Amino acid sequence: MAGLLLSGTYDAEGFRTCSVTGLRIHRDVERYVKLFALTAVVALLIGGISAIFVALTRWEVIGLADPPAFYKWLSIHAWNLLIFWMVFMEVAILYIGGPLVLGRPLPAPKLAGVGYAVMLGAALMINHAIATTEAPDNAPLLTSYAPLPSPPLFYLGVVLFILGVIIAALPFFITIWREKQEHPNRSLPLVSFGAFITSIIALEALLGGLITYIPTFLWRIGVVEHIDAGWYRQMYWIIGHGSQQINLAAMITVWYFLTHVVGGAEVVSEKLSRTAFVLYLFFINMGAAHHLLADPGVHMSWKHWNTSYAVYGAVLASMIHAFAIPAGLEAGRRKRGLGGQGLFGWLWSAPWSNPVFSATALGIIMFGFIGGISGVVMGQTQLNLTWHNTLGVPGHFHGTVVLGTTLTFMALVYFALPVLFNRDLVFKPLARIQPYFYAVAMGLATIMLLYLGVLYGVPRRHPSVMSFPGTDFNFAAASPLFAIFGVAAILAIIAGASFLLVAVGSLLFGKRVENPALVMPPLISGGSDDRPIHEYSMQGTFTLTLIFLAVFAIVYAVNWYLLGRLWAIG
């Protein structure tokens, strides 16, 4: 382990120059990026194991776990994948976007170490609390909705984890502070800017988390007598949704980074891309109201205001990125003379056999078409009625955090293996197909979840729906879709395992590469003429985004049609 973290040779000040990105990287930065990323991969492994139990219980032909075990596995699934895999990776991304891209040393490396230790300890505590849950406590799932009690150790673990993340983020904030002190007249690079926005959203979310979990912990241990379910839901979603926004902003930051380095993308409009990040900052916290659309206690106009706010602000921001990133690739590659003049030559000629590129590109496409569209649709106040707490909800967020963020973070690991760990990939043919394999299998599983939820009303968080004890009601009509889901889920789990095999295999047995540029050819430079980037054609991207809009409009219309057939409500 220590050997993995310490590879590389540095100059007297502790820096080396990266042959792929051209960046000056400090030893401490590199070491902590690796440490956080490796820990994230371990969480992915644990979460992946839990996915077997979750998916094969829901596919009742197999029916792997009984209800108590199912709820524990589902909680393990949510916390290790959505929280630990993502958040450890995000701290690594903050260090990449901050000191690594800015070519600075890691300030206060001790804080990074303390933050890491607290996060790790808290993660173990949370897993332990889930695994040992006993009556009267219940497995927390992701949301630990009060007043249903979860183990006291669980709440405590969450509070500690939040504190650990805040500590681990401090070196990033110090970096940005010092950069601005030393260079007041220059703007952060876009990747650093994206990371900075991510960190502010994170801070808001984390403070919301403390406001939620400290009182809830006090209630659970009996210091506070009463906890209000409506209060809990409002407060919880500050972090519950805020943390998804961290995933989003971090993922988009990585998109700009990786499409540039391995695909030759450039930033077509700093103004628009940065405006989009700022829109996230201002608008997305209100958007968290979309979790309360089927709730009592909040008025329709409050629901409309907050969801429309999100539509205007956050969705607009995502639409801007949805254009800017492929357009960056298109214009950048045209400038470099890659792929000829045609509408899509730049796209077909992209390095699709490099898993860093393919995982990123598939992440962008799948996130937009599956996660993005479903999210906006279910976020419309009335449409939410047909989505709320059905399998359509996990369908939506497997479109975002799995097909989008997980694929993107996999790309980042594929990138880090040669570039930071100095390891060549093992099992190259497997690595080459893994992103496609994962995207297709998980995409199918996700679409089945969406159908099961919206067209059959199959509830989420249920170990079985093929029988309801004491009645003859069931969802057996949906079993063919469950069969497709089950098979696709098994394939997706195998695809996920393939990723782990390549990643861990490369770390342990990969050939050492002294010059990673040889195995990860960068496309950063090139392009002889000096025309400004916005003058290159972006027609291919425009065509693609129009196709996206058409699909969006169709899905939107179908959902309103489905709602309109129902009985009168309200």
**327 part of the interface to another protein, by CB under 8 A:** yes
Query: Of these partners, ligand HEM, another protein, none, which one is at the site of residue 304 (CB under 5 to 8 Å by kind)?
Result: another protein
Token code pair at residue 546: 């129009």
Rule CB under 8 A: is residue 457 a binding residue for another protein? yes
**Which H or E run includes 5?**
helix 2-5
Span 71-110, contacts to another protein by CB under 8 A: 71, 101-102
Distance in Å, CB of 47 to ligand HEM, minimum = 6
| CB-based contacts of 81-84 (< 8 A; 24+ apart in sequence) | 81/43, 81/44, 81/47, 81/48, 81/50, 81/51, 81/401, 81/402, 81/406, 82/142, 82/243, 82/401, 83/123, 83/161, 83/243, 84/39, 84/40, 84/43, 84/46, 84/47, 84/123
Contacts of 514 (CB under 8 A, 6+ apart): 422
- Residue list 459-518, contact with ligand HEM (CB under 6 A): 460-462, 489, 492-493, 496
Judged by CB under 8 A, does residue 316 bind another protein?
Answer: yes
User: Is residue 445 near ligand HEM by the rule CB under 6 A?
Assistant: yes
Q: What does the angle CA 399 – CA 357 – CA 431 come to, to the nearest 5 degrees?
A: 90
Return the range that interacts with ligand HEM (CB under 6 A); candidates 169-177, 218-226, 455-463, 502-510.
455-463
Bridge partners of 512, per DSSP, are 423
Using CB under 8 A as the binding rule, the residues of this chain from 19 to 58 that contact another protein are 21-23
If one asks whether residue 51 binds ligand HEM (CB under 6 A), the answer comes out as yes
Is residue 479 involved in binding another protein (CB under 8 A)? no
User: CB of 263 within 8 A of CB of 216?
Assistant: no
Q: How many angstroms separate the CA atoms of 404 and 44, rounded?
A: 15
24 binds, among ligand HEM, another protein, none (CB under 5 to 8 A by kind): none
Site string for ligand HEM, 403-422 (x = CB under 6 A): ---x----------------
**What is the rounded distance in angstroms from the CA atom of residue 420 to the CA atom of residue 392?**
39
Instruction: Return the bridge partners of 17, or none.
Output: 24
- The yes or no reply on residue 78 touching ligand HEM (CB under 6 A) is yes
Which residue of 25, 37, 40, 82 would you call a contact of ligand HEM, by CB under 6 A?
82
CA dihedral 208, 314, 249, 186 (to 10 degrees): -110
Residue 333 near which of ligand HEM, another protein, none (CB within 5-8 Å, type-dependent):
none
Stretch that binds ligand HEM, among 2-10, 168-176, 284-292, 400-408 (CB under 6 A): 400-408
CA distance 72 to 56: 14
81 is a contact residue toward ligand HEM (CB under 6 A): yes
Residue selected from 2, 12, 532, 561 as contacting another protein according to rule CB under 8 A: 532
- Which of ligand HEM, another protein, none sits in contact with 493, Cβ below 5 to 8 A by type? ligand HEM
Tell me which H or E stretch contains 25: strand 24-26
428 is an interface residue for another protein by CB under 8 A:
no
The secondary structure of residue 185, as a DSSP letter, is T
Minimum distance, C-beta of residue 327 to ligand HEM, in the bound complex (Å): 28
Q: Does 222 contact another protein by CB under 8 A?
A: no
**Residue pair 21/408 in contact by the 8 Å Cβ criterion:** no
Calpha distance 336→279 (Å, rounded): 31
In the complex, which residues of this chain contact ligand HEM (CB under 6 A)?
51, 54-55, 58, 74, 77-78, 81-82, 85-86, 141-143, 394, 398, 401-402, 406, 442, 445, 460-462, 489, 492-493, 496
